[in-house]
Every structure is written in C-alpha cells, then in structure tokens.
C-alpha cells in the first residue's frame, strides 16, 4: 500500500468547506479571497499542471551564471535556440518559430486560421485558447463532443472535415489526460485531406514517453503544425517559452502576422531553454516519478468512489459526483481546477509531490 493510499484512513484534517458558484474554474491563478484565507507558503496549488520538481539544475545554473550582455536585444540567442531545436528534432531552423509560451503561438494560429477563412473542427473540453481566439476574431470554430472514454473523436473530426478547413488536436488532451499512441494519430493525420490544416498541441507529449511525437511527419506533411512548450515537464512555466514547428512556408506566413518576431522573448529564457534540451535524464526521472504518484492518486480517488479518466499527463480528470470540490478544497488551502461539461461536474487535479497528493486525498476523505 502506498503512502497516498494509507492517507485515506487518516482523519486528522478538519476544516469548514466553502461554497461558491462557477462552471469553468481552471484558472491557474490564486484569487485574493483565497490568499486572504490561506498562508501562501502552505497553499497546495494543484490547478495549473505545473511540474513541482523542475526546472533541471542545469537550467537554474545557466541563469545564475549567465555572463552575456543583457543590454543587447535577444536576436542571437533566439537564432541559437532555433538551431538547437532543429538539431534536437531533426528539422531545419526555418521550420521553427518561438513564442513566450505555447499559448501565444496558439493565439497566433487562431488569427492564421481566421485569415484563411477556414472552419476549425475540434473536440471539447480541451485547451481552448486557439478556438476562443478564432471565435473572438470572427472565425468559425466547430466544437464536437469527446468520445465516451474522454478522447478526441477522430472519426467525427474526419467526417466534419471540409475545405477550407482546419483540425485542432491536443494529445495528450487537457483537461482529460487521454492519449492516442503515435501510430494511431499518424494514421488519422495521413487520412485527412492534404489541403486541411492540422494543428497538434503536444504540450504534455513528454509525459507519454519517448517516440510518441508526430514531429517525424513534418517533412512529409506540409499541412501539419505542432506546438510544444517548456512549461510542463521541463518545469519552466514562469520563464514563458514555447515553440511551433511547421513547414518553412507556413512559418513565413505566420511571421508576417507578427510585427517583430521574437520580440516577446527574454535572453535568459532562451538560454535556459537551450540548456533544458540537454536534460534527458531529468525528463525521464520526472516522467517516472509523475506516473508513480499519479497512479497512487487515481487508486485513492477510485477508492473514494470517483471515476477517473485514464491520464498519461501530469494531472487527473475525474467526475465530482455533482459536488463543488474546488470550493470545498479551498477551505483546506488546496486549489484544483473544475468545470461543468454535459450536465456533469468534473475536476482536474495536477499531480504534485507525493506529500502534496497525500494532503489532497486526506482533504477529500473528510469531504466524502
């Protein structure tokens, strides 16, 4: 029996549960009211899918010991990182675009899809910055439901495909954590009309294991765009660094939508990202630890009667049985995400360190 499972029987966590309304509560930020009621140092923040172990030591060292010229603009460092990413993924640097986190790049893609007057087909719930941006720009996002096992409905997406069209995929999906193996995702992408733009968000792909990315298809499929981030397994959310990979032609078109490419990047973030790429052992250790703690958490949740989605990411998605667990857990200084979907209430909890998940489970036990 793991420490998390053992913690279910501990009944020493007392508190008064708060109640509050709300349907979409996945914000990574702590409210002023929440901070007023809790000591910021004792708050357990399990709502933003951050890596509690990162970043790698090499990343921190690269920042501490940087001796370059910070009074210069960051152009040379941006070029260096593009070259490093190109080497890392087996691409040309002309196929890579950088951004201050993947969210900025997904917003840019929303405007790109709108410019092409394409209908964007995707499944919901998912990470919705791209379709939200498209809608605000006057575009046409078309949301389809997930399958019964909380996965993107690939058959429905293929059936909905049209010209001009675009398909948005998130693999592993956020907030459900569900995942398609590379072979199945590759078959799907190859089955789509070559004139349809395919946008694939791989923010959590490192958690799924080596060899699961579709980066290898980029040279074969000029209609494929892949978005990645350093915010998740590399533990660099606060440094804001993401990148996009596509054909050189698409990269040129995207750059035309940006007045000054790389203007939103900092020198230190660029240097740190380059060092992170060399941290393969850190990635493996983090992935292994995350999987172990996540499985223990899922077992604990299921023993309490909560139905969990089969996640391969660094978070767990589960049905709350109609309860506002987010509000209740805030009363114990624990913050999670929560959303309503198809008349059901679901929670998404980040997999933190083992002791953090113990406290999360203990609080749930008191509320159960």
pLDDT band per the 50, 70, 90 thresholds, residue 207: very high
1 Cβ neighbours under 8 A, 6+ residues apart: none
Q: What is the CATH number of domain 3-55+281-367?
A: 3.90.1150.10
Q: How many C-beta neighbours within 10 Å does residue 242 have?
A: 23
* Residues 179, 149 contacting (CB under 8 angstroms): no
Domain residue spans of the chain? 3-55+281-367, 57-276
pLDDT exceeds 60 at position 297: yes
The CA distance from 275 to 258, in Å, is 27
* Residues 129, 103 contacting (CB under 8 angstroms): yes
pLDDT exceeds 50 at position 222: yes
The CA distance from 121 to 142, in Å, is 5
Sheet with 165-170: list strands edge to edge: 96-99, 242-245, 224-229, 197-201, 165-170, 119-124, 140-145
pLDDT band per the 50, 70, 90 thresholds, residue 19: very low
Q: What is the CATH number of domain 57-276?
A: 3.40.640.10
Percent of the chain with pLDDT over 90: 83
pLDDT band per the 50, 70, 90 thresholds, residue 170: very high
Burial 94-132 (b: 16+ CB within 10 A, else e): ebbbbbbbbbbbbbbbbbbbbeeebbbbbbebbbbbbbe
Per-residue pLDDT, 221: 97
Place of tokens 């996640």: 311
Structure tokens at 280: 């393969």
Q: How many residues can be counted in the chain?
A: 368
Percent of the chain with pLDDT over 70: 89
> Global pTM?
0.90
């Amino acid at each position: 029996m793991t420490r998390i499972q053992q913690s279910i029987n501990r009944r020493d966590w007392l508190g008064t549960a708060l109640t509050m309304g709300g349907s979409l509560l996945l914000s990574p930020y702590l409210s002023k009211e929440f901070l007023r009621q809790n000591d910021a140092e004792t708050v357990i923040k399990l709502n933003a899918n951050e890596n509690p172990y990162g970043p790698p030591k090499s990343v921190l060292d690269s920042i501490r010991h940087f001796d370059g010229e910070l009074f210069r603009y960051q152009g040379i460092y941006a070029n260096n990182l593009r070259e490093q990413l190109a080497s890392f993924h087996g691409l040309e640097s002309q196929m890579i675009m950088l951004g201050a986190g993947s969210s900025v790049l997904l917003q840019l893609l929303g405007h790109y899809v709108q410019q092409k007057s394409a209908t964007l087909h995707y499944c919901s719930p998912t990470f919705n910055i791209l379709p939200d941006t498209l809608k605000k720009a006057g575009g046409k996002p078309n949301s389809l439901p997930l399958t019964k096992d909380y996965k993107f409905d690939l058959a429905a997406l293929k059936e909905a495909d049209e010209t001009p069209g675009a398909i948005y995929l998130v693999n592993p999906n956020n907030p459900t954590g569900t995942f398609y193996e590379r072979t199945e995702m590759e078959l799907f992408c190859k089955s789509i009309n070559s004139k349809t733009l395919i946008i694939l968000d791989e923010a959590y792909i490192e958690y799924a294991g080596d060899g699961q990315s579709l980066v290898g298809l980029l040279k074969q499929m000029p209609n494929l765009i892949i978005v990645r981030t350093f915010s998740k397994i590399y533990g660099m959310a606060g440094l804001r660094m993401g990148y996009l990979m596509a054909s050189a032609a698409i990269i040129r078109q995207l750059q035309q939508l940006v007045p000054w490419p790389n203007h939103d990047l900092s020198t230190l973030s660029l240097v740190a990202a380059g060092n992170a790429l060399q941290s393969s052992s850190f990635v493996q250790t983090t992935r292994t630890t995350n999987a172990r703690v996540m499985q223990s958490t899922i077992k604990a949740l299921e023993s309490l009667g909560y139905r969990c989605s089969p996640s391969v990411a660094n978070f767990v998605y589960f049905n709350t049985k109609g309860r506002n667990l987010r509000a209740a857990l805030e009363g114990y200084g624990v913050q999670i995400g929560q959303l309503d979907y198809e008349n059901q209430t679901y929670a998404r909890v980040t997999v933190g360190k083992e002791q953090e998940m113990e406290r999360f489970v203990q609080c749930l036990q008191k509320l159960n």
